[in-house]
Structure 1
Amino acid sequence: MPTSPPTRCGDPECQELTTQGRCEAHQRKAWANRSKEWGSGSTRKWRETRARQLDREPTCRWCGSHDALQVDHIIPLSEGGSKWDSANLQTLCSGCHEVKSDQDRRQRTHPEGSRLTF
């Protein structure tokens, strides 16, 4: 069966040629199995873990806000961070969480880039 000719990686900054859409370094993580990985009983476990984290840290760690709080994994799960370890959790408001998630994505796609910290 013939293969298609190589094209540039789908990552806008990458010059590598590939026949898969993205080069090996920029392949997206397969999240299809996430629900299996977390397991059926883990929704309750996450709610309990989240509640404990919000009790421990009731304001955004970065800006001190009390509004729209979310529990964030400091080291993302996609990078091997622990799902349940309280040392890997922090409370962020939705705005700071979005900034941090963007930083994490940039770090994955451009490892030489710098990370902003607050």
Structure 2
Amino acid sequence: MPSKGPRLCACGRVVPAGRPCPCAVRRKAESDANRPSPAARGYDAPWREARANHLARNPLCVACGCKATLVDHIASIRKAPHRRLDPTNFASMCAPCHGRKTAAVDG
């Protein structure tokens, strides 16, 4: 069975398949260190309660129909902070679908 070969990182290092380049690990750690806490970004106790209620009422992913584990803000908190806890702004999603949607819509 063939396996993936090594890849070339943007920094010029050859990286084994399935492993992150040390420069990517360092960049992520630096980015995370400068990121505000979840509560500061709007994911506090009221959000956790609204999320749990939404998932209890809507347990399936709106994109693929599998079990949802995340609640997406249709209009992001950054773009519509006043809709942060608005249930009409929620969509139940599985992690892969949420990742695709977020990458496509929010960059």
TM value normalised by structure 1: 0.52
> Within 2, Cα distance between the matches of 1:36 and 1:96?
25
The answer for the alignment partner of 1:96 in structure 2 is: 97
CA deviations on 1:40-75 (whole Å, 9 max, x unpaired) are: xx6221221011100121110110011x61011001
Report what 1:64 is aligned to. Answer: 65
Counterparts in 2 of 1:98 and 1:36: CA distance versus 1, 3 Å: closer
- 1:56-97 CA-to-partner distances (Å, cap 9, x unmatched) read 21110110011x610110011121151100000010000000
Gap runs ≥5 in structure 1: 1-30, 107-118
Distance in 2 of aligned mates of 1:61 and 1:98: 13
Higher relative contact order (CA 8 A, sep 6+): 2
| Alignment-mate amino acid for residue 60 of structure 1 | C
User: Structure 1 pair 48/35, CA: closer, same or farther in 2 (3 Å)?
Assistant: closer
- The 1-side partners of 2:54 and 2:74 are apart by 13
Q: Which runs of 5+ in 2 are unaligned?
A: 1-34
Following the alignment from structure 2 to structure 1, what is the Cα–Cα distance between the partners of residues 104 and 75? Answer: 12
Query: 1:33: how far off?
Result: 8.5
* TM-score of the aligned structures, taking structure 2 as reference length: 0.57
Q: Which residue of 1 aligns with 2:88?
A: 87
Aligned equivalents of 2:46, 2:62: Cα separation in 1: 23
- Across the two proteins, how many residue pairs are aligned to each other? 72
Report sequence identity in percent. 31
- Give runs of aligned pairs for residues 32-47 of structure 1, distance below 5 A: 32=36, 35-36=39-40, 38=42, 43-47=44-48
